[in-house]
Amino acid sequence: MIKETKMKKLVLVLIPLLVLTGLYAVEFDISGENRARAAIYNDATEVDGGHIDNRFNIGFDSQFHQNLKFRVAAEIGDIIWGNGGGAVGTDAAFDIKELNFDFNIEAIDANIIVGQQYWNDRMSLVLDDYFSGIMLKKQFGDTIDTEFAWMKVREGTLTQKDDHDVVMAHARMNSDMPLGMYLFFGNYENVDASNLTLMPYLSMEMGPAVFDANVFMDIQMQNDDTETGFGAAVKAKIDMDILELGADLLLASENGLSTVSPWYQNGLYIYGIGKHHDGLNLYWNTPYQGNTDMFASIVGNVRAPVAEKIALFGALGYLTDIGMEFNAGMEYELIPDLLNMAAYGAYGIHDNETNNYILGTTMAIEF
């Protein structure tokens, strides 16, 4: 009953907000996704199971003035079928994911975004999620883009200094060989800890080949102790028209990398966050954060268009102290740039001799 009341309150707040936005906006745009997926699989103890779920995301962008934009975005789901009978159960999550305004400061020719917003680093190693905070974006000339942000990751007890805050700076040079640098400083007041992360990156295109690389150094400080983690992530792809070959490599030394809310995808489903189903991984759990030994994820992948709207894909990967996985599937563009479908399967052999499998399908409307 409490969750049902909460949802009604959110709807009552959202509807007049959208009406006012539509009435006063000079420009108004709607975007979103409606995704449904089904999968059968077994768990870490090899017990068989499966489920079907769907999720709906919608975002509203409004421009009230040439210097002022407003965005609100909501999410319903994931809704597991059967939990609410034949309807959407009252326990279904209904969240406002984004609520922010984007103001152009003419005096310095920069944009400031205030509120709940989405952001990700290039490989989603540190953050690929929504956050509450302030983002300043500034372009210098035609080649350098910068971002500066303060993120309120956790608000503890209001009357105590037990919060988690992150400050981020990012500079990118746009050229034939784009390169840039991320800097993160995280402060965990509740445990008297902090971290400083430097993460430069480089991107190259050489004919049909594309190469992206990140390296990182993460200094972790707590009380009088200081530890340092190092690592690198590399993604490479070569497009030969009839075939795309790719590789994904992630290495992290002991102590690894401090993260906020990462979503790194290595191309696997059981031992990674899958492209077509991100909720089935059993052993991923960000293994490059706080690791006590050297960690490596090595994955090779292939994609082959077999018709105008159909492509086959597959991947083979190995993760240290976890295991090996093989997966394959098919992507089908039912309606170009609108409705897509994928079917896939994966099989994993864990180092502890546990064998896991996944068979699934996903359909998504993107608008």
182-201 confidence digits (pLDDT tens)? 999 999 988 889 999 999 99
pLDDT (tens digit per residue) in 168-181: 999 999 988 999 99
CA distances from 299 to 196, 232, 268 (A): 29, 14, 8
Q: Nearest-CA neighbor of 127 among 188, 187, 184, 191?
A: 184
CA distance linking residue 265 with residue 123, whole number of Å:
8
Positive or negative, the CA dihedral 231, 266, 185, 201 is positive
- What is the distance in angstroms between the CA of the first residue and the CA of the last residue of the chain? 33
CA distances from 188 to 149, 163, 198 (A): 17, 6, 18
Q: Please tell me which of 41-45, 141-145, 314-318 the model is most confident about, judged by mean pLDDT.
A: 314-318
C-alpha gyration radius of the chain:
22
Amino acid at 313: F
60: left (phi over 0), alpha (psi -120 to 50) or beta: beta
362 close to 341: Cβ distance less than 8 angstroms? yes
Phi-psi region of 125 (alpha: psi -120 to 50; beta: other; left: phi over 0): alpha
* pTM across the whole model: 0.89
In the predicted model, what is the mean pLDDT of residues 7-20? 55
97 and 116 in contact (C-beta within 8 Å)? yes
pLDDT at 14 (0 to 100): 58
